[in-house]
Structure 1
Amino acid sequence: MAPPAHSQRSSSPSQPSGKGEVADLKGQLRKLAGSRVAGIDDSKRELFKKVISYMTIGIDVSSLFSEMVMCSATSDIVLKKMCYLYVGNYAKHNPDLALLTINFLQRDCKDQDPMIRGLALRSLCSLRVANLVEYLVGPLASGLIDKNGYVRTVTTIGVLKLYHISAATCLDSDFPATLKHLMLTDSDPQVVANCLSSLQEIWGLEASKSEEASRELEALLSKPTIYYFLNRIREFSEWAQCFVLELVSKYVPSDSNEIFDIMNLLEDRLQHANGAVVLATVKLFLQLTLSMTDVHQQVYERIKAPLLTLVSSGSPEQSYAVMGHLHLLVMRAPMLFSSDYKHFYCQYVDPFYVKKLKLEMLTAVANESNTYEIVTELCEYVANVDIPIARESIRAVGKIALQQYDVNAIVDRLLQFLEMEKDYVTAETLVLVKDLLRKYPQWSNGCIAVVGNISSKSIQEPKAKAALVWILGEYAQEMQDAPYVLESLVDSWEEEHSAEVRLHLLTAVLKCFLVRPPETQKALGAALAAGLADFHQDVHDRALFYYRILKKDASLAERVVNPPKQAVSVFADTQSNEIKDRIFDEFNSLSVLYQKPSYVFMDKEQRGPSEFSEDLGNFSTESANSVVPAQIIVEANDNDLLLGVSEKEESGVPSSNGSAYSAPPLYNNSSYTNGQANFAINDLLDLGLTVVAPDPVPTMKLNPRPSLDPSTFQQKWRQLPLSVSQDGVISPQGAAALTKPEDLLRYMQGKSINCIASGGQAPNLKFFFFAQKAEERSSTFLVECIINSSTCKSQFKIKADDQTASHAFSNHFQSSLSEFGLH
């Protein structure tokens, strides 16, 4: 029989049922506070553990504050630590209670045990209560001259904490000068390192306020100070060594002899067991020799062995961090690492992220001498049970082929992949075959023979299907079944959700029509009709463009869509040289691991509207009060508004069969000649095409006074599918006018588009608009709009009750934005 719920609950001290346990603890602590019975510390420990346990799981035990302070009168360091932890947690939020701790903390700062003195001083400085600053000065002054190194170590950081609580108090007490003296004279290396850390931060923050602080900051980078730290670097902890090496990297040596002196002093740091010390030393060596080409190359040779040793030893996390930096060096000097490619072979026990980076390394170091061995190794990974690694291996093989290394053998390997009958292998290989055909057209015959045997129904991934469609259109003349395969894909247009595939399909069908018109005329008509009725803006526009250019001149369409093509010599790099150099300058930082410079994460303006779109922030409508009707104003604290905005909607919506357009003939008594046959085209109906041209988009008539409450807006936004998602622009005058966002809201209201919520900070602003049809109040359009005033660009998403009117409203909305500021 199960025990009653109450007994189960009370038997688990980590899961108290309510306030009863806290009250019980309060009584027990009060009994023990004044007791002097032998062994009482053991009982206190058990109670303190319960208090800390409750505090850790989020139970409010602040009511025990006075009892905990009374029980702190003990010489037991374990009890002291738990008491300080408790006090530090609740003092910040309860300044009045923090006053109760001052007496016993100050008393402990004078204790005979240096460990208790240090712990008390650290806790006293961690209270972070501005009203208690006056009580910190005395203990800190005493701590800086304490005979024990641990107390001085804690005090040097306590000075920095005091500066952040009250900078004026810290400076008036002349603590920075004392720290400087300790830094240059103290025998304890940890005290010296903490002094350096605190002074750098204090003077760095004060440098913009006073010239004296600027001079002191420059003095840290003087030759005597730098050499003082270099000569003592072996005494420091690993953390302190990294800190000193970072400081030295900012120093500018006077000549090459000084550079060699520094490098000779730090040569043995490359053999350090700690990866952080090695990377910091590598960064320093690389920076010092940037202007010395020959020496810089020697540095690469010198640092190669330590880095490879770190990669092969230690945890996977350390290996990944070191290999990320090694990858950056390989990209800058691949020839120096080409003979060490076997170090980058994947191990069975390697986690995915390490294997992926090793594949990138193998791709980077590949050259004429090692390509065969590397590709052979990569082909082994393709059969790996780890599907993501198999995909990455195929991509790596393709990248090596695009570098013109052993192309003949690699193409044969890729074609063998297509015969493996594994969906993911076939998909990745098709994408690479497309790129290889663009660069090596001479391999088309062999590739086409294999690709022609692949069933389009077996390809489900959008990129792979797009690649197959591209091949069918590009080589329609050579592939016998190309028109019929394309026709079957057009017939399943409604089932294709990828806009990329639909775009490629439009182009491929037109290319096929231009070389084999009799067999493709039906597929072309169906494709253009479906494209014109497609809700995705790009697909619709491309279909309309093809229709109009065919109507005007078929030979012109051939010159535009299917001109003679030259082989692609170089594929665009994803990163500019400027960004790569910026990442190299930030060596030994997270920028190397993310392969992005730090400003991408730190500078909000650089992130752009696409990054900002994930951050809803707190909406405010105060600026819109003058233009938004009172019944739709959103409260400033209504943070629940539009919580579904960040959902990842599909950018395209399947087209509707209900859309219809009236069309003039496609051709008027014109003829088109190709290499195979003459084909007379009289008009659209003779071809059996159902292509239709769109009517002019009617002017959108909106209700000048729409009404919608926030809860309805939120509900509709969550329920309605995405109709339109695209980029827009605003005029430079409009961007300048966005210093007052209410001007935009007033302007859009003049266009019968009202704002229901707004937020963000310049230059990234976010607005939510709504509008209603003039003849149908129930037909509502909802808009999420993100504007970057610095780039004059906008992104907006539209959801609507009436999907067929979405594009008309989108045109109206975008034209309103582009005109903003011109009237």
Structure 2
Amino acid sequence: MSESKIFYKYKAHEIRGELVSDSGKARGSSKRKLCLRKIIANLIMGNYHEMAQLFVDVLQIWNSENDLEIKRMCHQYFCTLTPSKPDQLRMALPIILQDLLSNSEELCILSLRTITSIDEPEYIQEGFQHVKKLIMTTSKISIPLRKAAIHSLIKMDQLDHTKVLELYYFLMDMLDYGKEEPTILVAAVTVLHEIHVSNPDMNPLQLTQNICFNLLEVLGKINEWDIAILFDILTTAYLPKTHSEAHHLIDLSVPKLHNLNSSVVLNALKFIIYLTNYVDYIEERLVRKFSSSLTSLLNKPPEIQFLVLRNVILLLLSRDSPLIHLEPNNFFIEYSDPTYIKDTKLEILYLLANEENTSQILDELKGQATDIDIQMSKKSIRAIGNLAVKYPHSARYSVDVLLELLEFGVDYIVQEVVSMLKNVLRKYPNQFDFVVPLLPQYSDSIQDSESKCAMIWIVTNHSNQLEDPIGVFRKYSDNFNTEGLEVQLLLLNSAVKFFCRAQSKETEQLCLKLLSGATEINDNPDLRDNAYMYWRLLSLAGNSSEPLFNNDVVRDMIDGELPVIEINTKLDPIVREELELNIGSILSVYLKPVSQVFRGVSPKKLPESPALNHEKSSLSIINDSISNNSTGSFHGSDTTRRSSSPIKKMTDFDRPAETVNQLKDKRKSSISLSATKLARKPSMLARKLSMRKPFQ
């Protein structure tokens, strides 16, 4: 049957009629399966009232059929409707328990999920007994079934938190012992994490050192999604006590940065970045690995690329000395890139700029400034202007690029270039005055409010470089009443500035015209208030009875020296800390605190530790040769750890080997005798190798 006939709103009596008519036929099972598909489709479409009337009919099918697909649809029907009538719940419970004792593993998992999702005392009691039995019994229970039982505790915690706490410490002991199957250990720590998250009255999950290393030992034995979950949970769940311990954890996690799964890479990176808050230095090789792992993810589909690029921006903004060193050519924009990828790459190119690569980045931005996409063109020009303001060494080349773009004469390019030149002229007074006489010829191309304000500001504050600044100014002041509020306020301010600088008949008429228009014609209260304020100031300045308030005082107030503009690209330390703990999540896309994105979610914070580095700017990046000579070594504080732990220490380094495994005949014959001689005397060893400290 076609999908259109299944996804059609049926009445309860229509489906019941089909069930009755086919009950005695040989093909009744397939017909009942088709009827169940119709019922599930109607539930998806929201036809609950009609489908709820078929509960008894579905229950009969559920009790009589052994087909797994039919059972699955019956369980889905029951969980979707969750009958509110107690007698219906009692009717279904024996069937669910029967499925729970089935020999089919899939059916057992299905019934376990069903019985633990119903908020009814009988279901909670039966479900908890079976879950407890499955979790605590290690023999003759399949791994998927035990894993499903552990995960069902998350639902049961929402129904009865007290009962779930009975198994809380059992799961903790399971993790501490570390002898269960790796996937079972991951399921256990996942459930513990969810219990802490869903219960605000509980403190955040804190794992012991032994549990942490037990979990890291199984990284090579679990699938990629479990690895990603594990790294996500370990971030803030385990607290390093010393710098050397944090270094050791980083070394254990670094190999996962080169995994093919993007989720594994991002979560491993998040865990390592978290650990860098507890180290005293970072090796240069780690910075290279961070960078190469992120670069390798740029070959993924656009959606993953976007997530990676946003996290690159986060890492570049987070610290004074970024933990990643990336080449700009990896972020050059390609024609086939979606718009959101292009936009994000532009931001990264801007953040990557320094004294060495500014010219390379400016050339790329110049090419994008002539893009057919108007928004991309504007953003590229804005990035060029911001680079000129941010880096003085690139200001001249940036201005040359902007003037070259200005010659195109395209309206939206001209408007954006003028807006950026205003910032450059303000940042570097008297350095680029030669630009000012070139701008009035493009006045007709300027249409939007921002570029008009930029042009008016340039004409007003650099009037000495223009032959007829008042004439250029009148092109905008003549349309005073039709302009937007932002332009009107600036025109009013500029007219008063012209009058204060040079009191002439021309400037007086210009000033009075705008003041009269703002107070008598315009009805905007903000504009009227500003106009009256200027009028009172000028009146006081012209009043001879006020000797302390003259034209010079008014000029200093209105036409004073502006502060030099600066561009700050660093995040607030508190926001940065929170975002670093959410690398790879939606918060890293928004680059906003969790309180501004989700309601009722508590932000993550760095746990306090003696090893916590409060001054992130003091964290140094050292050469690999220096780190190799470091005398620091990691000593596990847990002396009861088993020999399988990654924390090992060689204490007999100064003793010669007592036994040597002999090579097999074939390999032994291929090696010269001189190469296989072993020096066993301590005196001979001392001549060849001198070791001052133990190594691991």
Q: TM-score scaled to structure 1, two decimals?
A: 0.65
Stretches of structure 1 that go unaligned for 5 or more consecutive residues are 1-9, 608-823
Corresponding residue of 1:449: 437
Q: Which residue number in structure 2 is paired with residue 776 of structure 1? A: none
Alignment deviations for residues 143-177 of structure 1 (CA, whole Å, 9 cap, x no partner)? 33361222211111212211211223434xx3334
Partner of residue 580, structure 2: 584
Q: Which position in structure 1 is the counterpart of 2:552?
A: 555
Return the offset for 1:551.
Answer: 0.8
Task: Give structure 2 stretches of 5+ with no counterpart.
Answer: 542-550, 604-696
> Residues 472 and 486 of structure 1 are in contact (CA less than 8 Å); yes or no, is this contact kept in structure 2?
yes
Residues 360-759 of structure 1: pairs in structure 2 closer than 5 A: 360-402=347-389, 403-456=391-444, 458-496=445-483, 498-516=484-502, 517-533=504-520, 534-553=522-541, 554-565=551-562, 568=564, 570-571=566-567, 575-602=571-598
Deviation for aligned residue 1:521 = 2.7
Alignment of 1:332-351 (within 5 A): 332=319, 340-351=327-338
> Does structure 2 conserve the Cα–Cα contact (< 8 Å) formed by 1:238 and 1:274?
yes
CA contact (8 A) 1:472 1:508 kept: no
- Identify which of 153, 156, 159 aligns with 2:153: 159
- Give the distance between the partners of 1:52 and 1:410, measured in 2 at CA: 63
Tell me the equivalent position of 2:269. Answer: 282
Sort the Cα spacing of 1:143 and 1:337 in 2 relative to 1 into closer, same or farther, 3 A. closer
> How many angstroms apart in 2 are the aligned matches of 1:203 and 1:309?
35
Q: How many residues align?
A: 581
1:93-123: per-residue Cα shift (whole Å, max 9, x none)?
Answer: 6666444322211111111111111111112
Output the amino acid matched with 2:369.
V
Contact 1:280 1:588 in 2 (8 A): yes
Quote the residue 1:65 is aligned against.
55
3-state SS of paired residue (2:277): coil
Partner of residue 149, structure 1: 143
Deviation of 1:90 after TM superposition, in Å, equals: 0.7
2:72 to 81, 84, 87: 81
Identical counterparts, % of pairs? 22
Q: Which residue of 1 aligns with 2:626?
A: none
The whole-number CA distance in structure 2 between the counterparts of 1:253 and 1:604 is 29
> How many angstroms does 1:586 deviate by?
3.9
Structure 1: distance between partners of 2:198 and 2:600: 22
Cα offset, 1:129, TM superposition: 4.3
1:299 aligns with 2:296: no
* 1:119 maps onto 2:116 in alignment: no
Partner of 1:381, secondary structure, is: helix
* 1:63–1:604 Cα change, 3 Å: closer
CA deviation vs aligned residue, 1:301-331 (integer Å, no higher than 9, x gap):
22111111112x1111111111222222233
Shift of 1:606: 12
**Cα distance, 1:380 vs. partner?**
0.7
1:43 to 31, 34, 41: 31
Structure 2 residue 84 is matched with structure 1 residue 90: no
Q: Deviations over 1:742-773 (max 9, x none)?
A: xxxxxxxxxxxxxxxxxxxxxxxxxxxxxxxx
> Contact 1:26 / 1:64 at 8 angstroms: preserved in 2?
yes
Task: Return the structure number with greater strand share.
Answer: 1
Structure 1 residues 261 and 475, CA, compared in 2 at 3 Å: closer, same or farther?
closer
Given that 1:92 and 1:129 are in contact with CA atoms closer than 8 Å, whether structure 2 keeps it comes out as no
* Cα distance in 2 for residues equivalent to 1:499 and 1:241: 56
* Cα distance between partner residues in 1 of 2:578 and 2:232: 17
Contact 2:235/2:581 (<8 A) preserved: no
In 1, Cα distance between equivalents of 2:349 and 2:196: 46
Is the 1:490–1:526 Cα contact (8 Å) retained in structure 2? Answer: no
2:154 matches 1:188: no
Whole-angstrom CA distance in 1 between matches of 2:325 and 2:500: 48
Residue pair 1:108, 1:117 contacting (<8 A) in 2 also: yes
Are the equivalent residues in 2 in contact too, given 1:87–1:98 (CA < 8 A)?
no
Q: What do residues 682-723 of structure 1 show as CA deviations (whole Å, max 9, x unaligned)?
A: xxxxxxxxxxxxxxxxxxxxxxxxxxxxxxxxxxxxxxxxxx
Shift of 1:395: 1.1
Does residue 271 in structure 1 map to residue 264 in structure 2?
no
Q: Give the distance between the partners of 2:519 and 2:576, measured in 1 at CA.
A: 43
Q: Is the 8 A contact 2:115 2:123 kept in 1?
A: no
* Aligned match of 1:28: 18
- Which residue does 1:353 correspond to in 2? 340
Partner amino acid, structure 1, of 2:407: E
Deviations, residues 62-86 of structure 1 (Å, cap 9, x unaligned): 2222212221232222222222222
In structure 2, what is the Cα distance between the partners aligned to 1:376 and 1:466?
28
SS at match of 1:455: helix
Letter in 1 for 2:409: E
Equivalent-residue separation in structure 2 for 1:510 and 1:31 (angstroms): 92
Alignment deviations for residues 580-617 of structure 1 (CA, whole Å, 9 cap, x no partner): 3443344343332212222333468999xxxxxxxxxx
Distance 1:87 1:256, change over 3 A: same
Distance 2:78 2:372 in 1: 54
Are 2:317 and 1:326 equivalent residues in the alignment?
Answer: no
Alpha-carbon separation, structure 2, partners of 1:443 and 1:536: 38
Pairing 1:802-817 to 2, within 5 Å after superposition: none
RMSD over equivalenced CA pairs, Å? 3.0
2:94 is paired with a residue of what secondary structure?
helix
For 1:100-249, list aligned pairs within 5 A.
Answer: 100-129=91-120, 132-144=123-135, 145=137, 147-171=141-165, 174-180=166-172, 182-183=174-175, 184=177, 187-202=180-195, 208=201, 221-249=207-235
CA distance, structure 1, for counterparts of residue 443 and residue 371 of structure 2: 24
| Residue identity opposite 1:152 in structure 2 | R
* Mapped partners of 2:280, 2:242: distance in 1: 15
CA distance in 2, matches of 1:127, 1:366: 57
Q: Tell me by how many angstroms 1:233 deviates.
A: 1.8
Larger relative contact order (CA 8 Å, sep ≥ 6): 2
Q: C-alpha separation between the residues in 1 aligned to 2:188 and 2:3?
A: 49
Shift of 1:368: 2.0
Change (3 A) 1:337 1:606: closer
Structure 2 contact 185–215 (Cα < 8 Å) conserved: no
1:645 aligns to what?
A: none
3-state secondary structure, aligned to 2:271:
helix
Aligned CA distance change for structure 1 residues 204 and 587 (closer, same or farther; 3 Å): closer
Q: Which range moves more in the overlay, 44-53 or 595-604?
A: 595-604
In structure 2, the CA distance between the partners of 1:206 and 1:127, relative to structure 1 (3 Å rule), is: closer
Residues 279 and 588, structure 1, Cα contact 8 Å, conserved in 2: yes
CA distance in 1, matches of 2:326, 2:201: 50
Quick one: structure 1 residues 169 and 267, their matched pair in 2 at CA, closer, same or farther if it must change by over 3 Å?
Answer: closer
